[in-house]
Amino acid sequence: MKRAVVLLSGGLDSATTLYIAKKQGFECLCLIFDYGQRHKKEINAAKKVAKQASCSYRVEKIKLAWGGSALLGRGKVIPRYHKHSLNKIPPTYVPARNIIFLSFALSFAEAVGAKAVFIGAHAQDYSGYPDCRPQFLKAFRKMAALGTASGVNKHGIRIIAPLINKNKAGIIRAGMKLGVPYHLTWSCYEGGSKPCGVCDSCYYRAKGFRDSGYRDAFQTNRGTLSKSKGRVSPLKR
């Protein structure tokens, strides 16, 4: 069976990406990062999702000691949701995070003979995050082809972003068809005992479920979009 490395954060986007990779017939090796994020709960969520999908995983601990993001450490306030302009990078951006993660994944994939790396970047993210944009992924693919032995030998590793043209509602609809266990995922940037309901990630998760017509089985009662309407998800917490 062909192998793929899947970047798995524990959120609903990467969980959906994992199930898409499985659907495409890949043996998935999940790569989870502990990079000092304040929402460390996503690491346990990622482990649970990988186990539910019957996929192996490894957790890599890296230290971004220089900070530069509201997600690193407790020194900065996680902002409440507000509409970002297309050219404004939010304070939750982690400097070069996807460059770092994809580089690790590419090295791992080449070492174990995997044919592809999957990443859950998507349309709603790349409006604000430069390392989620199609232009970035295109450039990374070119770099991977030029800078790896597999690429030079014309057996390059594919960098696949199956969600790149989808918004959150579209991702959820696709995931529900695949049986993605969204009740195991974690999205909140705060990393408290319950989702805060007001950060960007909570906002888009709640809005995505509302717009998709499904109800989130793991949803807070806090925040302006906390109660989704529509069909009840078959997944139970």
What is the three-state SS of 59-103? EEECCCCCCCCCCECCCCCCCECCCCCCCCCCCCCCCCHHHHHHH
Mean pLDDT of 204-220: 87
Tell me what pLDDT residue 222 has. Answer: 39
Give the number of domains in the chain: 1
Range of the domain at 71: 3-186
Distance between CA atoms of residues 130 and 124, nearest Å = 12
Is the distance from CB of 100 to CB of 62 less than 8 angstroms? yes
Tell me what pLDDT residue 87 has. Answer: 61
Distance between CA atoms of residues 159 and 118, nearest Å = 6
Q: What is the bridge-based pairing of β-strands 3-7 and 116-118?
A: parallel
The model's pLDDT over 11-64, given as tens digits with 9 standing for 90+, comes to 999 999 999 999 999 999 999 999 988 778 999 999 999 999 999 999 999 988
CATH code (residue 100): 3.40.50.620
Phi, psi of 6 (to 5 degrees): -115, 125
The reply to whether 215 falls in a domain is: no
Nearest to 33 by CA among 50, 51, 46: 46
Tell me what pLDDT residue 90 has. Answer: 84
* Token code pair at residue 113: 């003979």
The reply to whether 225 falls in a domain is: no
Whether the predicted pLDDT of 232 surpasses 60: no
Residue % of the chain over a pLDDT of 90: 63
Whether the predicted pLDDT of 171 surpasses 90: yes
Whether the predicted pLDDT of 200 surpasses 80: yes
- Give the number of other Cβ atoms within 10 Å of residue 60's Cβ: 13
The reply to whether 61 falls in a domain is: yes
Q: How confident is the model at residue 84 (pLDDT cuts 50, 70, 90)?
A: low
Q: What angle do CA 47, 120, 141 make, to 5 degrees?
A: 120
Tell me what pLDDT residue 224 has. Answer: 37
Distance between CA atoms of residues 115 and 52, nearest Å = 23
Tell me what pLDDT residue 236 has. Answer: 30
Tell me what pLDDT residue 28 has. Answer: 98
Tell me what pLDDT residue 75 has. Answer: 67
Q: What is the mean pLDDT of the chain?
A: 87
pTM over 0.95: no
The reply to whether 19 falls in a domain is: yes
The model's pLDDT over 89-128, given as tens digits with 9 standing for 90+, comes to 888 888 899 999 999 999 999 999 999 999 999 977 656 7
